[in-house]
């Protein structure tokens, strides 16, 4: 029997209306549907500007779609991220849906180790255990220990991205969204990220990702979702 | 009694108004009752509140004693006593035990008072919260709503800065378990006397136009902390004149070399002890 | 410590802490705020953003009991009483609520501190107001809170006048949190502070809000502060709420023209 999807997108449409330009509307996609089951990794495919990042953000409820549903498994229920209240969305993000953005959002004064450990601590994990796991992830991603106690603001782009990735993998989310996780990484670290994604798949996570790097895409994804052909009427 | 004055100077309507305020004050121990204070023939700051209260309760057969810092013979005590002698024709005395009405500034007599006596205190600032909150609108609410946190703040500050509660006079008290009251600038040494006192205690503030009261046999507790309990002053010396060890002593500098002696602040109490034969270390020298 | 927004199994707290319906206030004929409605749950931080004249401060004043609401209702989940209409409370009940269950952090620390008493007394006052009578324990609590807001312990007996602006603000926060309120109102808590000082204060607030499970209504004109602290935002313009929703969604995908203007006006460093 096929397992139920962990993520199910139904007839999703998104456009942006820019009021400063007299209400200019930019349609991004219209009528998208897709589903992702446990252990699957769907790679979003399409040229630059086709809406891959927009779709990912809409899945995370960071963008509000015009129409349609984004159903995410949360405990025993399915929550529609497109219409859920803010606190329901936050609850889903805390427990069920992880997100690795393209760039680390830097908060002043917070050391890298705490940045990575925070999602686990927020769930009630013992802070020491959470930091141990954070340390292990940072080590795997080759962030030197002397950097752990520093806020990432002064790190290089690649270092910041690795902190971002470590944070995204610090909790074993049932569903995971990855936006260009290997951009600005060298070969060694790209390989490690690939390992992390495969391990997540192994434990049953459902993943949606944007991978420009063909090698990574080949290695980790189980299917490709072409945004442009999946659009119905523009 | 001097010609042309109503009994005890104030007209009967005014006295009735003040007595109504006093009744209200007695009914709500420690609560400050506003009253329509009159212009008196002495300025604010000289006891006009006390005088108006005394004038309102005085009857022709009362015996009046007036003290200032415990002494009957200071200028103010003498003036006020003479004022009532002239305008009310009442008998006056310096003996606490013989008085029926005692008006006082800044002390409670050492002699225990009886149910037949009234003690009238002169009060400068009636509101114990005034140091923290200058607005009358706010302090009234604070009293009404039992918002007394600030009173312990003051005591806390003392301990933080000086290691102990340094307030030594006008020490705030809680009356009947409800209102926090300023006992007027009596030394904290006198605070325990207020607790369950058999006499009626009335407080008059002339400039601020407030009257408050502690009925006989009412609980009056000085504020403190569990780990910094209320303590009264004590002296190593005894009274130089009468040898008393349990009364409030004034320090008197006797010469330019800095010699000093300690004497009872309550002149009547000291004199009474000497009449009974008590002698202090300097008694013989002073007799000479 | 578990954040209060959700329980471990994902279930959500059912009763809102604060429930506002149709709240409006007019200054004579001048509109303060109009028809504001929202529910605030335990552990949530609601940011109210807008420029001068947006009505955000009026709204905060109505919510925190400093202005009577013109029309509409405010219900608060009082311990032991359930959701209670604040308009039905007597002044004394409201004042008790403000002292015990609520905190108010003013933009200017002087408005929220007793400048004439020491830092320790400022923090200890609420405890003494609810009956704390042991000097040693009160002082220990004050020292504990000074440490939490990163004020050196040796300043405990100093007057707030001798503190820098940032330190005064942190003292105000300690004074408001010592009695473990459930709801805190903040009006531009970082306004007027140097940038590095702001960062420290925001970090502190973030930590305390999360650790204590506080609900907060936070008024600010600074979108960066809103993004850092608030779970949800309401954007106000000319007395009305023009957009509301999840913080990152309102800031990253603003729909209302004014929201878009606000977000696009923020300078990048």
DSSP string, A108-169: TT--HHHHHHHHHHHTT--HHHHHHHHHHHHHHTT--GGGTTS-GGGS-HHHHHHHHHHHHT
CB contact under 8 Å between B156 and C135, yes or no, is: yes
User: Which residues of chain A have a CB within 8 Å of the CB of C251?
Assistant: none
Closest partner CB to C121 (pick from B157, B227, B228): B157
Closest listed residue to residue B155, CA positions, set B135, B179, B128: B128
Which residues contact residue B207 at a Cβ distance below 8 angstroms, ignoring those fewer than 6 apart? B37, B44, B45, B48, B49, B124
Using CB atoms, which chains have 3+ pairs under 8 A with B?
A: C
The reply to whether A24 touches chain C by the CB within 8 Å rule is no
Indicate the helix (H) or strand (E) that contains A195. Answer: helix A187-202
Identify the pLDDT of residue A103.
85
The reply to whether C260 touches chain A by the CB within 8 Å rule is yes
Same domain, C228 and C249: yes
Mutate to test the interface with B, among C90, C127, C133 (most CBs of B within 10 A): C133
Query: For B160, which residue in chain C has the nearest alpha carbon?
Result: C157
Q: Note the pLDDT tens digit of each residue in B15-70.
A: 999 999 999 999 999 999 999 999 999 899 999 999 999 999 999 999 999 999 99
Same domain, C97 and C187: yes
CA angle B90, B95, B101 (to 5 degrees): 45
* Highest mean pLDDT out of A84-98, B14-28, B139-153: B14-28
The reply to whether B38 touches chain C by the CB within 8 Å rule is no
The reply to whether C264 touches chain A by the CB within 8 Å rule is yes
C86: pLDDT strictly greater than 60: yes
Q: What is the mean pLDDT of chain C?
A: 89
Same domain, C12 and C90: yes
The arithmetic mean of pLDDT across residues B97-119, rounded, is 96
Q: Note the pLDDT tens digit of each residue in B150-179.
A: 899 989 999 999 988 888 899 999 999 999
Q: Note the pLDDT tens digit of each residue in C216-238.
A: 999 998 998 999 899 999 999 99
Which residues contact residue C127 at a Cβ distance below 8 angstroms, ignoring those fewer than 6 apart? C138, C141, C178, C179
Identify the pLDDT of residue B288.
59
Closest partner CB to A62 (pick from C41, C252, C256): C252
Is C32 in a helix, a strand, or coil? strand
Residue C108 covered by a domain: no
Q: d(Cα A94, Cα A73) in Å, to the nearest integer? A: 13
Q: Quick one: DSSP state of residue A81?
A: T
The arithmetic mean of pLDDT across residues B236-249, rounded, is 91
The reply to whether C66 touches chain B by the CB within 8 Å rule is no
Query: What string of DSSP letters covers C37-58?
Result: EEEE-TT-EEEEE--TTSSHHH
C2: pLDDT strictly greater than 80: no
Mutate to test the interface with C, among A87, A89, A92 (most CBs of C within 10 A): A87
Same domain, C133 and C193: no
The CATH number of residue C32's host domain is 3.40.50.300
The reply to whether C153 touches chain B by the CB within 8 Å rule is no
Same domain, C124 and C89: no
Indicate the helix (H) or strand (E) that contains A73. Answer: strand A67-74
User: Which residues of chain A have a CB within 8 Å of the CB of C257?
Assistant: 19-20
Same domain, C187 and C80: yes
The arithmetic mean of pLDDT across residues B2-16, rounded, is 92
Given a contact cutoff of 8 angstroms between Cβ atoms, the answer to whether C241 and C36 are in contact is yes
Residue C163 covered by a domain: yes
Same domain, C128 and C90: no
Where in the sequence numbering do the catalytic residues of B fall?
30, 239, 242, 264, 270
The reply to whether C245 touches chain A by the CB within 8 Å rule is yes
Same domain, C194 and C82: yes
**Dihedral angle computed from the Cα positions of residues C256, C257, C258 and C261, in that order, rounded to the nearest 10 degrees:** 120
CB contact under 8 Å between C124 and B225, yes or no, is: no
CB contact under 8 Å between B153 and C124, yes or no, is: yes
Q: d(Cα B25, Cα A116) in Å, to the nearest integer? A: 67
User: Which residues of chain B have a CB within 8 Å of the CB of C129?
Assistant: 147-150
Identify the pLDDT of residue A202.
94
Identify the pLDDT of residue C12.
67
Same domain, C23 and C89: yes
Residue C129 covered by a domain: yes
- β strands within B47-190, DSSP E: 63-68, 91-92, 101-105, 118-122, 173-175, 179-181
Q: d(Cα B273, Cα B279) in Å, to the nearest integer? A: 8
Q: How far is C243 from chain B (nearest CA, A)?
A: 39
Residue after which a domain boundary falls, among C180, C201, C230: C180
Is C61 in a helix, a strand, or coil? helix
Identify the pLDDT of residue C203.
86
Closest partner CB to C199 (pick from A74, A86, A109): A109
Closest listed residue to residue C194, CA positions, set C218, C168, C173, C219: C168
Identify the pLDDT of residue A2.
56
The arithmetic mean of pLDDT across residues B222-251, rounded, is 92
- Cα atoms in the 13 Å half-sphere on the side-chain side of C216: 29
User: Which residues of chain A have a CB within 8 Å of the CB of C8?
Assistant: 123-124
C74: pLDDT strictly greater than 70: yes
Q: What is the ipTM of this complex?
A: 0.90
The reply to whether C15 touches chain A by the CB within 8 Å rule is no
B abuts C (3+ Cβ pairs < 8 Å): yes
**Contacts A–C by Cβ distance under 8 A:** 76
Mutate to test the interface with B, among C120, C125, C128, C159 (most CBs of B within 10 A): C128
B230: pLDDT strictly greater than 90: yes
Which residues contact residue C240 at a Cβ distance below 8 angstroms, ignoring those fewer than 6 apart? C33, C34, C35, C55
Query: For C121, which residue in chain B has the nearest alpha carbon?
Result: B153
Q: How far is C134 from chain A (nearest CA, A)?
A: 34
CB contact under 8 Å between C231 and A107, yes or no, is: no
CB contact under 8 Å between C246 and A89, yes or no, is: yes
Q: Note the pLDDT tens digit of each residue in C173-206.
A: 999 999 889 999 999 988 878 888 888 888 888 8
- Cα atoms in the 13 Å half-sphere on the side-chain side of C126: 27
B199: pLDDT strictly greater than 90: yes
Residue C81 covered by a domain: yes
The reply to whether C6 touches chain A by the CB within 8 Å rule is yes
User: Which residues of chain B have a CB within 8 Å of the CB of C65?
Assistant: none
> Which of the residue ranges B2-11, B238-247, B278-287, C108-117 would you say has the lowest mean pLDDT?
B278-287
Given a contact cutoff of 8 angstroms between Cβ atoms, the answer to whether B264 and B248 are in contact is yes
Angle between helices A112-122 and A127-140 (to 10 degrees): 130
Q: How far is A219 from chain C (nearest CA, A)?
A: 32
Q: How far is C1 from chain A (nearest CA, A)?
A: 5
Given a contact cutoff of 8 angstroms between Cβ atoms, the answer to whether B122 and B103 are in contact is yes
CB contact under 8 Å between C128 and B149, yes or no, is: yes
Mutate to test the interface with C, among B145, B152, B164 (most CBs of C within 10 A): B152
Residue C224 covered by a domain: yes
CB contact under 8 Å between B141 and C156, yes or no, is: no
Q: d(Cα A59, Cα A61) in Å, to the nearest integer? A: 5
Q: What is the span of the domain harbouring residue C198?
A: 5-101+183-268
The reply to whether B116 touches chain C by the CB within 8 Å rule is no
pLDDT band at C1 (very low <50, low <70, confident <90, very high): very low
The arithmetic mean of pLDDT across residues B202-226, rounded, is 97
User: Which residues of chain C have a CB within 8 Å of the CB of B150?
Assistant: 125, 129
Q: Note the pLDDT tens digit of each residue in C43-60.
A: 899 999 998 888 999 999
Using CB atoms, which chains have 3+ pairs under 8 A with A?
A: C
Q: How far is C123 from chain B (nearest CA, A)?
A: 10
The percentage of residues in chain C with a pLDDT greater than 70, rounded to a whole number, is 94
Using CA atoms, how far residue A90 sits from A204, B70, C230, in Å, is 22, 73, 12
Identify the pLDDT of residue B287.
67
Q: d(Cα B113, Cα A231) in Å, to the nearest integer? A: 100
Which residues contact residue B94 at a Cβ distance below 8 angstroms, ignoring those fewer than 6 apart? B65, B72, B267, B268
Give the residues across from A97 on adjacent strands: A175
Classify strands B101-105 and B63-68 as parallel, antiparallel or unpaired.
parallel
Residue after which a domain boundary falls, among C180, C195, C229: C180
CB contact under 8 Å between A61 and C253, yes or no, is: no
CB contact under 8 Å between C99 and B144, yes or no, is: no
B abuts A (3+ Cβ pairs < 8 Å): no
How many other CB atoms sit within 10 Å of the CB of residue C184?
25
Same domain, C130 and C11: no
Residue C28 burial by Cβ neighbours in a 10 Å radius (0-12, 13-18, 19+): exposed
Name the domain count of chain C: 2
Residue after which a domain boundary falls, among C161, C180, C199: C180
C7: pLDDT strictly greater than 50: no
Q: How far is C206 from chain B (nearest CA, A)?
A: 30
Query: For B146, which residue in chain C has the nearest alpha carbon?
Result: C129
A234: pLDDT strictly greater than 90: no
Residue C199 covered by a domain: yes
The arithmetic mean of pLDDT across residues B187-214, rounded, is 97
pTM of the model: 0.85
pLDDT band at C131 (very low <50, low <70, confident <90, very high): confident
Using CA atoms, how far residue B43 sits from A48, B49, B173, in Å, is 91, 11, 28
Identify the pLDDT of residue A1.
41
Indicate the helix (H) or strand (E) that contains A59. Answer: helix A52-59
Given a contact cutoff of 8 angstroms between Cβ atoms, the answer to whether B181 and B158 are in contact is no
Closest listed residue to residue C11, CA positions, set A6, A77, A71: A77
pLDDT band at C257 (very low <50, low <70, confident <90, very high): very high
Same domain, C196 and C89: yes
Given a contact cutoff of 8 angstroms between Cβ atoms, the answer to whether A87 and C43 are in contact is no
Using CA atoms, how far residue C80 sits from C127, C178, C213, in Å, is 21, 21, 19
pLDDT band at A233 (very low <50, low <70, confident <90, very high): very low
Using CA atoms, how far residue B277 sits from B32, B53, B238, B270, B287, in Å, is 44, 37, 15, 11, 14
CA B228, chain centre distance (Å): 25
> Phi/psi class of residue A51: alpha, beta or left (left: φ > 0; alpha: ψ in -120 to 50)?
left
Residue C110 covered by a domain: no
The arithmetic mean of pLDDT across residues A225-231, rounded, is 80
The reply to whether B161 touches chain C by the CB within 8 Å rule is yes
CB contact under 8 Å between A20 and C252, yes or no, is: no
Query: What string of DSSP letters covers B24-80?
Result: HHHHSTTPPEE--PPP-SS-TTSSHHHHHHHHHH--TT-EEEEEETTBSSSHHHHHH
C5: pLDDT strictly greater than 70: no
Same domain, C89 and C161: no
Query: For C127, which residue in chain B has the nearest alpha carbon?
Result: B149
Closest listed residue to residue A177, CA positions, set A65, A110, A81, A83: A81
Q: Evaluate the CA torsion angle A210, A215, A217, A219 in order and state its sign.
A: negative
Residue positions counted in chain A: 234
Residue C194 covered by a domain: yes
């Amino acid at each position: 029997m096929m397992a139920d999807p962990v993520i199910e997108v139904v007839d999703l449409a998104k456009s942006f209306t820019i009021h400063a330009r007299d209400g200019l509307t930019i349609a991004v996609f219209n009528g998208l549907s897709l589903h992702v089951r446990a252990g699957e990794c769907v790679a979003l495919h399409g040229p630059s500007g086709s809406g891959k990042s927009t779709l990912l953000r809409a899945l995370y409820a960071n963008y509000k779609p015009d129409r349609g549903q984004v159903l995410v498994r949360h405990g025993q229920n399915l929550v529609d991220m497109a219409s859920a209240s803010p606190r329901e969305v936050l609850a889903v993000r805390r427990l069920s849906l992880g997100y690795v953005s393209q760039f680390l959002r830097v908060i002043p004064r917070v050391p890298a180790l705490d940045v990575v450990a925070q999602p686990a601590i927020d769930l009630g994990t013992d802070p020491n255990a959470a930091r141990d796991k954070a340390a292990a992830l940072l080590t795997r991603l080759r962030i030197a220990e002397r950097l752990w106690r520093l806020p990432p603001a002064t790190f290089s782009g690649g270092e910041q991205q690795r902190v971002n990735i470590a944070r995204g993998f610090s909790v074993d989310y049932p569903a995971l969204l990855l936006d260009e996780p290997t951009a600005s990484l060298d070969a060694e670290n790209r390989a490690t990220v690939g390992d992390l994604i495969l391990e997540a798949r192994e434990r049953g996570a459902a993943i949606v990702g944007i991978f420009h790097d063909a090698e990574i895409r080949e290695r980790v994804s189980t299917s490709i979702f072409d945004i442009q052909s999946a659009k119905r009427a523009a | 009694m001097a010609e042309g004055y109503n009994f005890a100077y104030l007209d009967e309507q005014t006295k009735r108004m003040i007595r109504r305020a006093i009744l209200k004050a007695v009914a709500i121990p420690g609560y400050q009752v506003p009253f329509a204070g009159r212009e008196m023939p002495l300025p604010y700051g000289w006891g006009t509140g006390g005088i108006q209260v005394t004038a309102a309760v005085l009857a022709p057969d009362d015996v009046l004693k007036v003290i200032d810092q415990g002494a009957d013979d200071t200028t103010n005590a003498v003036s006020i006593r003479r004022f009532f002698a002239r305008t009310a024709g009442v008998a006056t005395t310096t003996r606490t035990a013989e008085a029926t009405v005692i008006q006082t500034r800044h002390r409670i007599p050492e002699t225990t008072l009886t149910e037949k006596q009234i003690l009238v205190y002169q009060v400068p600032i009636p509101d114990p919260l005034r140091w923290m909150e200058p607005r009358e609108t706010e302090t009234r609410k604070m009293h009404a709503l039992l918002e007394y946190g600030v009173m312990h703040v003051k005591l806390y500050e003392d301990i933080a800065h000086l290691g102990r509660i340094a307030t030594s006079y006008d020490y705030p008290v809680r009356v009947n378990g409800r209102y926090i009251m300023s006992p007027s600038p009596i030394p904290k040494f006198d605070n325990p006397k207020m607790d369950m006192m058999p006499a009626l205690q009335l407080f008059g503030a002339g400039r601020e136009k407030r009257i408050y009261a502690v009925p006989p046999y009412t609980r009056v507790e000085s504020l403190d902390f569990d780990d910094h309990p209320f303590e009264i002053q004590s002296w190593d010396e005894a009274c130089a004149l009468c040898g008393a060890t349990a009364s409030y002593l004034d320090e008197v500098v006797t010469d330019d070399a800095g010699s000093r002696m300690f004497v009872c602040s309550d002149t009547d109490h000291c004199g009474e002890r000497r009449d009974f034969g008590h002698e202090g270390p300097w008694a013989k020298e002073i007799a000479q | 410590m578990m954040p209060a927004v959700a329980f471990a199994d994902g279930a959500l707290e059912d009763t809102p802490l604060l429930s506002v319906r149709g709240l409006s206030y007019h200054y004579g004929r001048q509109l303060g705020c109009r028809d504001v409605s929202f529910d605030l749950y335990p552990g949530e931080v609601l940011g109210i953003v807008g420029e001068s004249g947006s009505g955000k401060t009026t709204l905060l004043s109505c919510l925190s009991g400093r202005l009577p609401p013109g029309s509409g209702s405010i219900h608060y989940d009082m311990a032991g009483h359930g959701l209670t209409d604040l308009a039905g409370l007597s002044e004394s009940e409201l004042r008790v609520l403000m002292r015990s269950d609520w905190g108010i952090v003013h933009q200017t620390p002087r408005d929220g501190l007793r400048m004439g008493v020491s830092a320790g007394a400022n923090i200890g006052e609420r405890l003494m107001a609810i009956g704390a009578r042991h000097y040693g324990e009160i002082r220990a609590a004050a020292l504990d809170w000074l440490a939490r807001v990163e004020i050196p312990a040796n300043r405990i007996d100093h007057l707030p006048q001798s503190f820098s602006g940032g330190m005064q603000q942190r003292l105000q926060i300690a004074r408001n949190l010592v009695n473990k309120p459930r709801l805190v109102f903040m009006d531009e808590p970082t306004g007027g502070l140097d940038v590095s000082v702001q960062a420290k204060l925001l970090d502190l607030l973030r930590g305390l809000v999360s650790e204590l499970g506080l609900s907060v209504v936070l008024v600010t004109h600074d979108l960066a502060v809103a993004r850092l602290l608030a779970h949800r935002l309401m954007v106000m313009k000319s007395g009305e709420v023009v957009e509301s929703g999840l913080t990152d969604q309102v800031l990253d995908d603003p729909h209302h023209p004014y929201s878009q203007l606000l977000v696009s006006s923020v300078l990048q460093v």
